[in-house]
Amino acid sequence: MASHCVGYFKYLGQHVGFFSRITPVFQERRKVMKSSLIVVAFFCIGCLVGIFNDFQFDMHNLSMYILYALMLQVGISIGSNKNLKFLIKSLRPNMLLVPIATIVGTLLFSAFASLLLSQWSVFDCMAVGSGFAYYSLSSILITQFKEASVGLQLATELGTIALLANIFREMMALLGAPLIRKYFGKLAPISAAGVNSMDVLLPSITLYSGKDMIPVAIFHGILIDMSVPFFVSLFCSL
């Protein structure tokens, strides 16, 4: 009887540690999914408001002010990162390979997607992929930059595609992290996360890829974050 009790407590002790590590990840998953659903809900509400109301003010200027605010937020989020000093000290040249691989792989598959989407050019698809899961910024940038060349309606449509595609990428990176790690290696969850590897998906990356991947994940997220405005504006202008 005593041996059974000892065995039970050993089993319990082993699994308490596991559950204590995995609980924050599940909490983060719920948080990210809730955030994504709220974004989609506000998008749908905006569509309904636009359908049933005829706004007289300049929507172009409004979207520009929102864009300025988002760019300010990008700068603040990078500058106020508490791990920035630690990250700079731990920088290694080979850490550049991960964000480079993310950019090249994303743009390559985005170009392939244009073969299935006859309405959009290869550069349009690459502009959507250049969001790297940063759905709020990329969708506004694409709508803003494409309006002059294709008109407001098509620009808004492409911006909507960018919004939904990058939300989908974030959710797939979150929910698919165990399988991505299993079949593609410990760097794959970082690459799949895009800009979110430095914040909302960092707990998931830490759990499945290990704590030694934290500097790589943060460095990757910062570089990808900085690259989004550049690549989106580049492909929208081609």
- Residue at 113 is within a domain: yes
Q: How many domains does the chain have?
A: 1
CA Rg value for the chain: 21
Question: What gap in Å lies between CA 238 and CA 233, rounded to an integer?
Answer: 9
Give whole-number Cα distances, 150 to 121, 122, 142, in Å: 12, 15, 11
Residue 201 inside a domain? The answer is yes
Structural domain contains residue 52:
no
Instruction: Give a yes or no: residue 1 inside a domain.
Output: no
Examine residue 227 and state whether it is found in any structural domain, yes or no.
Answer: yes
Q: Per-residue pLDDT for the chain (238 aa), expressed as one digit of tens each?
A: 545 444 544 444 454 454 455 555 566 566 666 666 776 677 677 777 767 776 655 555 666 677 677 667 767 766 676 666 666 666 777 888 999 999 999 999 999 998 988 889 999 999 999 999 988 888 888 988 998 888 888 998 999 999 999 989 988 888 888 889 989 999 999 999 999 898 788 888 888 888 888 888 888 998 999 899 999 999 999 8
- C-alpha 100/C-alpha 96 separation (Å) is 6
pTM for the model stands at 0.72
